Every structure is written in C-alpha cells, then in structure tokens.
C-alpha cells in the first residue's frame, strides 16, 4: 500500500505541476520516475511514450498507466493513472466555475500568452532530449528525416508513420544484426 500511495502522490505531483500536456511532462517524469524513484529506465520511458502515442487516450495518462503497471501491476497502473488525472480534474473544475468571469481580462490573456511560450520551451526541451536518445546513427537519422518531411508535406495519419517507423526499425535492426553475425563468421 505505501508504494501505491507513493505512485499516486508522485503522479499527482507530475499531473499538477505539468502544464502543456504529455510532452511538457517529460522532463519532470525523467527527474521523478527515472532519477529519483528509479521505477523505469530512460529507454523504458521513451518506449512508454512511443506506445502512448500509438494508443488511444492522453499520452500522460497512458505513460502513467504503463509505469504504474510496471511498478505494481494492475493496482499500480490504476493508482498512477488516478494520480496523474486527479489534479487536472480539480483544477479544471475550479477554472470552469470562474473562467467566464475572468477570460476577457487583459491580465488573464497576457498570463495565458506567457504560459503558452513556457509550454513551447518545455516541449522543445523534451523533443531535444528525445532526439538525442533516438537519432543515434545514420539509419535512424535517415528515418527521422523521411518521417519529418513526410509529416510536413503530407496529410498521412500519424498512425501510418508510427507503423512505418516501427517496421523500418525492425528491418534496420535485423539487417544490422545479420551484418554483424556474417562479419563475425568471416573473421
């Protein structure tokens, strides 16, 4: 029970202090889950993020569920998920009660403009960290460039890109491993 409570409180803190969605939560998730609690490795969190993108729902909720499940099974997944959504439910309920009264005030509009800039920086920071860990050699760089250009120039569903990237990753790793094993046989 203490570990379940710890999961709930950790993800409640992440959910309550992260503005801007799932990508903005990556730096805090890295600090809390990987460095402080050691519930997952950086690679595992990246994998959870990738799978969270492919599954229906909010990426922050999906990632919390995966980490909670890894840590304490089904109860862990439930507690982590409840933890990450609880602050949002409370905050949204409070804001919904008062936002119509204050939305047109200049100070509120300016605050939201500043918050949007901050969220952009947090997302960019998360993207840079993901990029450094994911684009590690020429094949992954080529894959990145192809998918980046394809996503900009076409209206293809992101699901297609994710499936294609997964298939390309399997092919690249298979060919790389096959090349290494054949190189070892010739020596």
Which class for 144: exposed (0-12), middle (13-18), buried (19 or more C-beta within 10 A)?
middle
- pLDDT per residue over 143-163, tens digit each? 999 999 999 999 999 889 989
CA distance 53 to 127: 14
pLDDT digits (tens, 9 = 90+) for 55-81: 777 778 888 899 999 999 999 999 999
Given a contact cutoff of 8 angstroms between Cβ atoms, the answer to whether 27 and 122 are in contact is: yes
Across the chain, the runs of DSSP E, i.e. the strands, are none
Q: What's residue 185's pLDDT?
A: 63
């Amino acid at each position: 029970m203490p570990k379940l409570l710890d999961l709930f409180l950790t993800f409640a803190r992440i959910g309550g202090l992260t503005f801007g969605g799932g990508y903005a939560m990556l730096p805090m998730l890295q600090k809390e889950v990987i460095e402080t609690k050691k519930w997952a490795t950086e690679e595992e969190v990246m994998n959870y993020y990738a799978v969270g993108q492919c599954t229906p729902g909010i990426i922050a909720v999906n990632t919390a569920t995966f980490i909670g499940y890894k840590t304490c099974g089904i109860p862990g997944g439930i507690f982590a998920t409840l933890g990450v959504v609880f602050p949002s439910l409370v905050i949204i309920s409070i804001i919904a009660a008062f936002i119509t009264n204050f939305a047109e005030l200049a100070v509120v509009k300016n605050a939201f403009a500043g918050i949007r800039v901050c969220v952009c920086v947090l997302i960019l920071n998360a993207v840079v960290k993901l990029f450094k860990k994911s684009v590690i050699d020429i094949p992954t760089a080529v894959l990145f460039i192809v998918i980046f250009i394809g996503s900009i120039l076409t209206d293809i569903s992101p699901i297609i890109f994710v499936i294609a990237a997964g298939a390309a990753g399997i092919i690249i790793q298979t060919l790389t491993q096959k090349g290494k094993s054949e190189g070892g046989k010739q020596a």
